[in-house]
């Protein structure tokens, strides 16, 4: 595999862009023409070749730029990465999982050489080479969780498991859909999801928790979640909401295709071997409306989902004010023809737009 | 009447009960303002607790000190503010042995902060009793500057640190002992609705 890393930004001039390959492999989250919460878990044991599901930790063209953005967020606000004292062992578990996975799945980019506890890690895209002693915190420049998640796309929640619950006791959170690790750290599964409308009443969280408590080593799971973001801004944090919220008001019928992004989270869940913690990576993929509608099936479907979404969900996901503008744009790409079941673009069987 | 029935809310928001006497080697009771009334009610139902009780009381602008003292707790302390009392509270948790029962009553801010101290000392929050009395004001953390504003009784309110206009969420952090305040006019600067008293 050859992969060119983009030179791009997720702030200020927003030079972020998706190549044709990135558009083709975008994890479009809607398998039918409507959306409601569901647990929607499946095994995370590979997927179609070159899809975002293929590897345990997908590395794509945005890798280097995303890591630079993360470093900037952490410089501005170190509280985005926190680990309660009892979570250090889980941090080493996570470091091992990621280093082993990446060196096996991307040998051209990452190498891990182990001699007992003496480890040598090479990260070529970021130009990092470090010798360290596994499980010895003093041999790394950061704690183990922070060290490895500064080199891995996606946010990471490391969940302690006790009292039949999961506790948000450590995390690296810089690309979040408007929630605060600093506020939520130490909460249990129901508490940190407390602000989510409708899903508690539907029993979603009870069922999801039951599933997650039973995830076994070597049998990770995954699901998708989604929201909307104006501009390809990774750091849509509550901490900075007073700065970025205003950007939502800059949409016009002329710029919406380029500015409005569908934000998809590939959420995965891995049991960690020594700590019995659960790591919950939340990987964010952004795609502009104009790139989405380049796939006729996705254009038709996105119009229908946005149009029919319950008010509470549109409000919670933060786009209720912009929904009319979105529909003015998207409806141009919906000719009413039926769509095929499933998330894939199905270009070989999908008719082009009938105007 | 100093009691209030809170409407149902989200799962992170604390819920309070009525203090019940529980068997224990020692009883630590921390209250502020009208919280004294909950301790007085508890002592009426279970006077035997008081000989093993340490009462820590912050009167704020109320006048229950004499009545509390008249319950003859083994130890009685009255402090001018929570921050003045907190070093004593930490010390009591440090010295506590197995079998300590903890009773908290009064405002949400007082109970939340004392509970957070107890958790840091290793107590399970579910083993600590809390009874709300008196003011409905909240202890709020500004999610933007992280500053805490005490005794917030109106929504929206102005952050006492950074000056942003914040709305009062029910989302609550036990660790911070605070509710979350979020900028209300981020998408339309200056458009701040009139402030209303909480639960009015």
For residue B52, what is the domain's CATH number? Answer: 3.40.50.80
| Three-state secondary structure of B83-146 | HHHHHHHHHHHHHCCCCEEEEEEECHHHHHHHHHHHHHCCCCHHHCEEEECCCCCEEEEECCCC
Whole-number pLDDT of residue A1: 53
Task: Answer whether B12 sits within 8 Å of A195, measured CB to CB.
Answer: yes
Q: Which of residues 50-89 of B touch A (CB under 8 A)?
A: none
Task: Answer whether B186 sits within 8 Å of A238, measured CB to CB.
Answer: no
pLDDT, mean of residues A163-183? 97
Task: Answer whether A195 sits within 8 Å of B171, measured CB to CB.
Answer: yes
Domain boundary among B132, B152, B178: B132
Query: pLDDT tens digits for A188-217?
Result: 999 999 999 888 888 999 999 999 999 999
Nearest Cα neighbor of B156 from B148, B165, B146 is B165
pLDDT, mean of residues A234-261? 97
Tell the burial category of A29 from Cβ atoms under 10 Å away from its Cβ (0-12, 13-18, 19+). Answer: buried
Say whether residue B187 is in contact with chain A using an 8 A CB cutoff. yes
Task: Answer whether A194 sits within 8 Å of B171, measured CB to CB.
Answer: yes
Residue A243 C-alpha, separation from nearest chain B C-alpha, in angstroms: 7
Mean pLDDT check: name the lowest of A164-178, A193-207, B129-143, B182-196. A193-207
Query: pLDDT tens digits for A35-65?
Result: 998 888 999 999 999 999 999 999 999 999 9
Residues B123 and B44 reside in one and the same domain = yes
Give the residue on A whose Cα is nearest the Cα of B12: A191
Question: Residue B200 falls within a domain, yes or no?
Answer: no
Q: Which residue in the list A25, A150, A223, A283 is annotated as catalytic?
A: A223
Q: Within its chain, how far is the Cα of A160 from the centroid?
A: 20
Residues B71 and B31 reside in one and the same domain = yes
Tell me how far CA of residue A112 lies from CA of A3, A127, A210, in angstroms: 20, 14, 35
In percent, how much of chain A has pLDDT > 90? 95
User: Cα B5–B11–B16 angle (5° rounding)?
Assistant: 35
In percent, how much of chain A has pLDDT > 70? 100
Residues B73 and B161 reside in one and the same domain = no
pLDDT, mean of residues A111-137? 98
Residue B46 C-alpha, separation from nearest chain A C-alpha, in angstroms: 32
User: Which residues span the domain enclosing B188?
Assistant: 138-194
Residue A72 C-alpha, separation from nearest chain B C-alpha, in angstroms: 17
Which residues are CB-contacts of B112 (< 8 A; sequence separation ≥ 6)? B14, B139, B172, B174, B177, B178
With bands split at pLDDT 50, 70 and 90, how would you rate the model's confidence at B97?
confident
Residues B45 and B102 reside in one and the same domain = yes
User: Cα B111–B112–B118 angle (5° rounding)?
Assistant: 90
Which residues in chain B have Cβ-Cβ distances shorter than 8 Å to A195?
10, 12, 169, 171
Nearest Cα neighbor of A330 from A346, A350, A307, A308 is A307
Task: Answer whether B174 sits within 8 Å of A187, measured CB to CB.
Answer: yes
Which residues in chain B have Cβ-Cβ distances shorter than 8 Å to A248?
187
pLDDT, mean of residues A149-155? 98
Residues B30 and B125 reside in one and the same domain = yes
Smallest Cβ–Cβ distance between B11 and the set A186, A194, A239 belongs to: A194
Give the residue on A whose Cα is nearest the Cα of B14: A191
pLDDT, mean of residues B3-23? 95
Q: Is the pLDDT of residue B1 over 80?
A: no
Residue B50 C-alpha, separation from nearest chain A C-alpha, in angstroms: 33
Which residues are CB-contacts of B64 (< 8 A; sequence separation ≥ 6)? B33, B34, B36, B37, B40, B57
Whole-number pLDDT of residue A331: 98
Q: Which residue has the higher pLDDT, A37 or A134?
A: A134
> How many structural domains does chain B have?
2
Task: Answer whether A248 sits within 8 Å of B173, measured CB to CB.
Answer: no
Task: Answer whether B187 sits within 8 Å of A321, measured CB to CB.
Answer: yes
Known active-site residue A355:
no
Whole-number pLDDT of residue A39: 83
Residues B95 and B175 reside in one and the same domain = no
Residues B100 and B172 reside in one and the same domain = no
Residues B122 and B77 reside in one and the same domain = yes
What's the whole-number average pLDDT of chain A?
Answer: 96
Report the C-alpha gap between B113 and A195 in whole angstroms. Answer: 22
Whole-number pLDDT of residue A25: 98
Tell the burial category of A326 from Cβ atoms under 10 Å away from its Cβ (0-12, 13-18, 19+). Answer: buried
Residues B49 and B76 reside in one and the same domain = yes
Say whether residue B173 is in contact with chain A using an 8 A CB cutoff. yes
Which residues in chain B have Cβ-Cβ distances shorter than 8 Å to A246?
186-187, 189
Q: Is the pLDDT of residue B186 over 90?
A: yes
Which one-letter DSSP state was computed for residue B49? G
Whole-number pLDDT of residue A84: 97
Give the residue on A whose Cα is nearest the Cα of B166: A242
Residues B105 and B177 reside in one and the same domain = no
Smallest Cβ–Cβ distance between B11 and the set A184, A200, A238 belongs to: A200
Residues B111 and B167 reside in one and the same domain = no
Which residues in chain B have Cβ-Cβ distances shorter than 8 Å to A194?
10-13, 170-171
Question: Residue B17 falls within a domain, yes or no?
Answer: no
Whole-number pLDDT of residue A289: 98
Mutate to test the interface with B, among A242, A244, A322 (most CBs of B within 10 A): A242
Which residues in chain A have Cβ-Cβ distances shorter than 8 Å to B148?
none
Whole-number pLDDT of residue A37: 84
Mutate to test the interface with B, among A85, A173, A183 (most CBs of B within 10 A): A183
Query: pLDDT tens digits for A327-351?
Result: 999 999 999 999 999 999 999 999 9
pLDDT, mean of residues A23-38? 95
Residues B31 and B124 reside in one and the same domain = yes
Whole-number pLDDT of residue A186: 96
pLDDT, mean of residues B107-130? 96
Lookup: tokens for A30: 């809607």
């Amino acid at each position: 595999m050859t992969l060119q890393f983009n030179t791009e930004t997720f702030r200020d001039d927003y030079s972020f862009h998706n190549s044709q390959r990135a558009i083709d492999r975008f994890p479009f989250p809607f398998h039918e023409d409507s959306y409601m919460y569901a647990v929607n878990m499946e095994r995370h044991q590979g997927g179609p070749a070159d899809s975002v599901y293929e590897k345990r930790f997908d590395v794509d063209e945005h890798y280097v730029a995303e890591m630079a953005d993360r470093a900037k967020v952490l410089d501005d606000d170190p509280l985005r990465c926190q680990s309660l004292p009892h979570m250090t062992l889980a941090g080493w578990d996570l470091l091992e999982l990621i280093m082993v996975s990446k060196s096996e799945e991307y040998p051209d980019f990452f190498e891990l050489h182990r001699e007992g506890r003496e480890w040598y890690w090479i990260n070529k895209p970021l130009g990092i080479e470090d010798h360290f002693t596994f499980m010895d915190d003093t041999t790394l420049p950061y704690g183990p969780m922070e060290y490895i998640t500064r080199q891995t796309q996606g946010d990471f929640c490391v969940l302690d498991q006790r009292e039949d619950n999961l506790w948000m006791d450590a995390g690296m959170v810089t690309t979040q859909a408007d929630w605060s690790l600093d506020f939520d750290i130490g909460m249990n599964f129901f508490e940190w999801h407390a602000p989510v409308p409708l899903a508690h009443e539907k029993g979603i969280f009870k069922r999801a928790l039951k599933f997650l408590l039973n995830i076994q080593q070597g049998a990770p799971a995954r699901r998708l979640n989604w929201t909307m973001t104006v501009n390809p801004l990774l750091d849509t944090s509550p901490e900075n909401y007073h700065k970025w919220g205003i950007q939502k008001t800059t949409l016009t019928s002329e710029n919406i295709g380029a500015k409005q992004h569908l934000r998809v989270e590939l959420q995965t869940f891995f049991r960690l071997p020594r700590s019995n913690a659960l790591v919950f990576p939340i990987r964010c993929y952004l795609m502009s409306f104009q790139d989405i509608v380049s796939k006729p099936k996705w254009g038709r479907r996105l119009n229908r989902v946005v149009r029919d979404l319950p008010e509470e969900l549109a409000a919670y996901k933060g786009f209720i004010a912009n929904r009319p503008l979105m529909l003015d744009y998207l409806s141009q790409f919906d000719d009413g023809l039926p769509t095929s079941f499933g998330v894939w673009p199905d270009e070989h069987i999908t008719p082009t737009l009938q105007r | 009447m100093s009691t209030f029935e809170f409407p149902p809310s989200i799962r992170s928001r604390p819920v309070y009960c009525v203090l019940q006497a529980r068997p224990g080697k020692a009883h630590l009771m921390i209250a502020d303002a009208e919280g004294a009334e909950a301790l007085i009610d508890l002592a009426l139902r279970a006077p035997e607790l008081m000989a093993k009780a340490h009462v820590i009381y912050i009167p704020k602008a109320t006048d229950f000190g004499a009545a509390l003292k008249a319950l003859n707790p083994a130890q009685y302390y009255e402090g001018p503010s929570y921050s003045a009392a907190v070093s004593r509270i930490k010390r009591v948790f440090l010295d506590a042995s197995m079998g300590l029962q903890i009773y908290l009553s009064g405002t949400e801010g007082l109970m939340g902060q004392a509970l957070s101290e107890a958790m840091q000392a290793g107590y399970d929050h579910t083993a600590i009793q809390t009874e709300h009395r008196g003011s409905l004001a909240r202890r709020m953390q500004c999610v933007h500057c992280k500053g805490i504003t005490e005794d917030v009784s109106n929504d929206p309110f102005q952050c006492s640190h950074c000056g942003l206009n914040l709305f009062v969420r029910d989302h609550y952090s036990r660790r911070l002992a605070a509710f979350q305040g979020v900028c209300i006019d981020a998408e339309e600067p200056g458009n701040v609705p009139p402030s209303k008293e909480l639960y009015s």
